[in-house]
Chain A
Amino acid sequence: MIKVLLFAHLQEEAGKDQINYDRESITVKELKTSLQNDFGLAELEQVMTAINEEYAMDEDMVKSGDTVAFIPPVSGG
């Protein structure tokens, strides 16, 4: 199982802050597409991804047991 965390506007669009995906392995890009299809999320092009709290690229693989966070452009400070 892959744990997906959503923040900021993504959380509001999906209506939840966490989604569990029953997959063994998937690329970040595939995960984004599947999330868009399943939850009708808008553009994820600008959204960064973190796997287990480290920034990752679209080509990176996510495995069962990983925590993936989708990170919209940040606005701290």
Chain B
Amino acid sequence: MTDSLFEIVEEPIQVEPIIKKVERREAGAITTFIGTVREWTKGKRTLYLEYQAYIPMAIKMFAKIGEEIEKKWPDTMVAITHRIGRLDISDIAVVIAVSSPHRKAAYEANEYAIERIKQIVPIWKKEHWEDGKTWIGDQLENVPYPDGKPDAKDVKS
């Protein structure tokens, strides 16, 4: 891992170094979100996942989310690391750390970051179920694109 705030990695994610990236003397709160691989989804058993990313664009989109957060919650700082490749049950897929002077902004900005990741960042997961495999277009989890695709104004910079 490097000092960059936004990263895509292939090796297991260590949480602590990501928290360190957003540590600042003016911060009174750091929230972390850790997304892990779930075994059961609506009665279907996952054996393992494979994540794929369009890496350079994904990192750009992480940075864009960081900019959006900076506008909405001034004085926050965000670091995001996502893992790709094969992940087993309970492995960490994504870590988001947000620091802010007061806790409310850190909680809100952190939730905003994961929602935006699920909308605009070009990362895909392939589910290897007990009974087959599928690329997930997020339709099983939630509906990031109510009109079938992201709103152009949401994704264009």
Contacts and interface: CB of A to CB of B under 8 A. Distances in A.
Interface of A: 5, 7-9, 12, 45-48, 50, 53-55, 57, 69, 71-77
Given A69-B57, A75-B141, A77-B35, A8 B135 contact: yes
Contacts of A45: 148
Contacts of B94: 76-77
Contact of B144 (A9, A54, A73): A73
Nearest to A11: B52
B79 interface: no
Interface in B124-157: 124-126, 135-139, 141, 144-145, 148-150, 152, 155-157
A74 B122 contact: yes
A74 B135 contact: no
Interface residues of B, number: 38
A37 B138 CA distance: 27
B93 interface: yes
Nearest to A53: B57
A55 B52 CA distance: 18
B123 A76 contact: yes
B54 interface: yes
Contact of B121 (A5, A54, A72, A74): A74
B92 to A, nearest CB: 12
